[in-house]
Amino acid sequence: MIQIDLEGGTVTVDGPDGRKTVPLASAEAFAIVSDAWLRAGWDTKYVYSFAWMGRPVIQLPEDMVRIQEVIHAVQPDVIIETGVAHGGSLVFYASLCKAMDRGRVIGIDIEIRPHNRKAIEAHPLFPFITLVEGSSIDPTIVEKVRSLVKPGERVMVLLDSCHTKDHVLAELEAYAPMVSVGSYIVATDGIMEQVAGGPRTQGDWTWNNPRRAAREFVSRHPTFTIVEPQFPFNEGMVTGRVTYWPDGFIKRLR
């Protein structure tokens, strides 16, 4: 149970160690309230209410701002994304490429529905986008994507297709070798573990999710590590992300 006392300026929460009250004006209170907000947002399908330059983008806005910060820092030549859906995130990344005057986007999906393909191909930013249809873990598709990357290009990868642990692990194994040193492969939607038991969830989400895949992957591959992206600007008390992508940023060290 969480109690928010706006007049008193406190947040009270019941936890495994009993009841605790913290000042509302604290990073700890912000984290408690944010976790509840994330769950409420999941239950109400909050992320299904945004678009980027005309295309639906089913992502938490803070995640899009934070990935923008990382993309600007890395300056990739190629951004590979598994999972296309309506194409909103592809358009988002393409708009960053245009703004930075650097980079292009490759989108992979097992099925790009005709109406979505038509809308993406008609978008003014489509010159920055290449669509690849097929399973992201099919060796022929992986090789096709690899062939689209030129020698020496700086590569970042985002995984946002099938979110089962086994599928994400397979994607990590397939695409991590393409990631440049100092860049990232991002396993999105690890929030599945946090919202298990809520609407539209499965009972195995407590373990069958991208967050567990990311942790297992880095345990096998010492050249990669899970890191929290650093905020390039922060004059407040909050240093942690409010995110659907916990433990999602996997950095290549060497």
pLDDT tens-digit profile of 81-97? 999 999 999 999 999 99
Q: Can you tell me which residue has the tokens 């969830």?
A: 201
Same domain, 8 and 109: no
CA torsion, ordered 148, 170, 227, 25, to nearest 10 deg: 110
pTM: 0.96
114 shares a domain with 6: no
Domain shared by 165 and 205, yes or no: yes
- pLDDT over 90 at 16, yes or no: no
Give the Cα separation of 171 and 166 in Å (integer).
9
User: Quick one: 14 and 95 in the same domain?
Assistant: no
Quickly state the pLDDT bin for 15 (edges 50, 70, 90): confident
Same domain, 213 and 246: yes
Query: Tell me, what CATH number does 122's domain have?
Result: 3.40.50.150
Contacts of 176 (CB under 8 A, 6+ apart): 157, 185, 217, 221, 224, 250, 252
Domain assignment of residue 93, given as a range: 55-252
Number of domains in the chain: 2
Is 118 inside any structural domain? yes
Annotate 59-113 with DSSP letters as a single string: S-HHHHHHHHHHHHHH--SEEEEE--TTSHHHHHHHHHHHHHT--EEEEEES---
Residue 122 contacts by C-beta under 8 Å, 6 or more apart in sequence? none
Q: pLDDT digit string (tens) for 21-80?
A: 999 999 999 999 999 999 999 999 999 999 999 999 999 999 999 999 999 999 999 999
CB of 81 within 8 A of CB of 107? yes
Place of tokens 């695409």: 175
Q: Is residue 138 part of a domain?
A: yes
Q: Is 5:12 a contact under the CB 8 Å cutoff?
A: yes
The order of strands in the sheet holding 18-23 is 2-5, 10-15, 18-23
Taking Cα atoms as reference points, which of 223, 54, 251, 61 lies closest to residue 156?
Answer: 251
User: What mean pLDDT comes out for the span 164-168?
Assistant: 98
- pLDDT tens for 191-215 read 999 999 999 999 999 999 999 999 9
pLDDT in tens, 104-159: 999 999 999 999 999 999 999 999 999 999 999 999 999 999 999 999 999 999 99
Say if 10 falls within a structural domain. yes
